[in-house]
Amino acid sequence: MNKTILITGATSGLGKAIAEKFAAAGYNCIITGRRKERLQALAAALSSSNNRIKILPLAYDVSKKEEVFNAINNLSEEWRNIDVLVNNAGLAAGRDPFDEALLHDWETMIDTNVKGLLYLSKAIIPFMKARKKGHIINIGSTAGKEVYKDGNVYCATKFAVNAISQAQRIDLLPHRIKVTCINPGAVDTEFSMVRFKGDEQKAKAVYEGYEPLHAEDIASTVFYCATLPAHVCINDLVMTCLSQANSFYTYKE
Ligand code: NDP
Ligand code: 8X3
């Protein structure tokens, strides 16, 4: 029987690449995000690439508690057998000094990166507990390892993802649920376009002068972590491209 994965933020970047990787490996996929057209297009592409799997597109906003619990609680019995939950949906909004940053940006990041991850985990853990197995993979960041200038609340949300991952790992031990936190450095996705609110020049500059990670690199790592033997769990993993050492140091040519 196919395994099932639920991926948040599958309409773009890391989430889309993770969906493609697991679909190719025969997983049934619940793909989620707010942009319905993108979800439908991805669902069609994944289904046609592998006719032995099922794809369920679910459009909701992870930061809206009611939408999350409605979507998850309305899953049919068959779709509740979630083996892997990837809490990936997230964003940075702005990159400004603490005293100049917008409250609205802070709230959006906290609501999405922290509360969204909590809501999804809370909604899905009962299904995993009932089956006495499951794997939660949280996407953190190098920004959750070192705070960098003007990163303030984005970094804080990723520090929170790290803390929540540690807490989940401890408290879910009796239920045989694995918890992995994967912390990538710069990955060339729509992340910077979102962060700089459509400013293409600023977004492009982030990835100039070196080869950043690609979304597929993260997808392969998520897949590796998710397919280890049942008794093995990668707890915490930091990955960067060759040109990046940590949040502060990127060697650009
Ligand atoms: P993208 O902007 O390419 O993708 C972000 C995804 O998150 C989209 O699918 C978007 O879907 C979804 N999303 C955002 N807000 C919401 C919301 N409120 N409800 C539901 N879905 C939402 O960025 P990445 O793929 O790069 O980012 C994915 C994760 O990786 C984030 O958590 C990010 O912090 C993290 N990360 C990224 C790095 C990078 O350099 N790119 C490095 C380290 C970590 P939609 O808009 O359709 O809702
Ligand atoms: C995304 C990577 O360096 O922009 O989490 O914070 S960075």
Interval between CA 59 and ligand 1 midpoint (Å):
14
- Residues with Cβ within 8 Å of 190's Cβ and at least 6 positions away in sequence, in order, are 12, 13
What local confidence, expressed as pLDDT, does residue 231 receive?
Answer: 98
Distance 230 CA to ligand 1 centre (A): 29
What percent of the chain lies above the pLDDT cut of 90? Answer: 100
Report the pLDDT value the prediction gives residue 135, as an integer from 0 to 100: 99
Residue 177 within any structural domain of the chain = yes
Structural domain contains residue 195? no
C-alpha closest to that of 219 among 165, 182, 245, 168: 182
Q: Is the CB of 141 under 6 A from ligand 2?
A: yes
Does ligand 1 lie within 6 Å of residue 89's CB atom? yes
| Cβ atoms within 10 Å, residue 48 | 9
Split into its structural domains, the chain has a count of: 1
Residue minimizing CA distance to atom 23 of ligand 1: 191
Query: What average pLDDT does this structure show over 74-81?
Result: 98
Alpha helices (runs of H) in 10-64, residue ranges in sequence order: 13-24, 36-49
Q: What is the mean pLDDT of residues 82-111?
A: 98
Torsion angle in degrees (nearest 10) through CA of 252, 181, 104, 64: 140
In a domain, 222, yes or no: yes
Q: Which distant-in-sequence residues (6+ apart) come within 8 Å of 138 by Cβ?
A: 87, 117, 161, 164, 165, 168, 179, 180, 181, 182
Respond yes or no: is residue 119 known to be catalytic: no
Which residue minimizes the CA distance to atom 44 of ligand 1?
141
Q: CA 116, CA 106: separation in Å to the nearest integer?
A: 14
Residue 192 CA, closest ligand 2 atom number: 4
- Candidate of 187, 222, 244 to mutate for ligand 1, largest count of ligand atoms within 8 Å of Cβ: 187
Q: Which atom of ligand 1 is nearest to the CA of 192?
A: 41
Which ligand does the CA of 161 lie closest to? 1
Domain that holds residue 171: 4-185+215-239
User: What integer pLDDT is reported at residue 98 of this predicted model?
Assistant: 98
Rounded mean pLDDT of the chain?
Answer: 98
- Marked catalytic residue, from 154, 207, 224, 249: 154
The answer to whether residue 208 sits within a structural domain is no
| Placement of tokens 């705070």 in the chain | 147
Q: Per residue in 220-237, pLDDT tens?
A: 999 999 999 999 999 999
Residue 138's domain is classified under what CATH number? 3.40.50.720
Mean pLDDT, residues 179-201: 98
42 Cα–ligand 1 center, Å = 16
- pLDDT tens, position by position, 145-162: 999 999 999 999 999 999
| Mean pLDDT, residues 68-94 taken together | 98
The answer to whether 116 and 165 have CB atoms below 8 angstroms apart is: no
Q: Give the Å distances, CA to CA, from 53 to 75, 110, 147, 214.
A: 17, 34, 41, 25
Mean per-residue pLDDT for 76-102? 98
95 falls in which pLDDT band (50, 70, 90)? very high
Query: In this structure, is residue 250 part of a structural domain?
Result: no
| Residue 187 Cβ contacting ligand 1 at under 6 Å | yes
Confidence at residue 68, expressed as pLDDT on a 0 to 100 scale = 98
Q: What span, in angstroms and rounded, lies between the C-alpha atoms of 252 and 29?
A: 38
**Do residues 35 and 108 touch, judged by C-beta distance below 8 A?**
no
Residue 253 located in a structural domain:
no
Pocket test for ligand 1, best of 7, 8, 30, 34 (most atoms within 8 A of CB): 34
Q: What percent of the chain has pLDDT over 70?
A: 100
* Residue 198 located in a structural domain: no
Which of 12, 146, 191 has most ligand 2 atoms within 8 Å of its beta carbon, as the pocket-test mutant? Answer: 191
Residue 31 belongs to a domain: yes
- Tokens in use for 71? 């979507």
Terminal-residue alpha carbon distance, the chain:
49
124, 213, 221, 243, 249 from 240: Cα distances, Å: 30, 7, 12, 8, 11
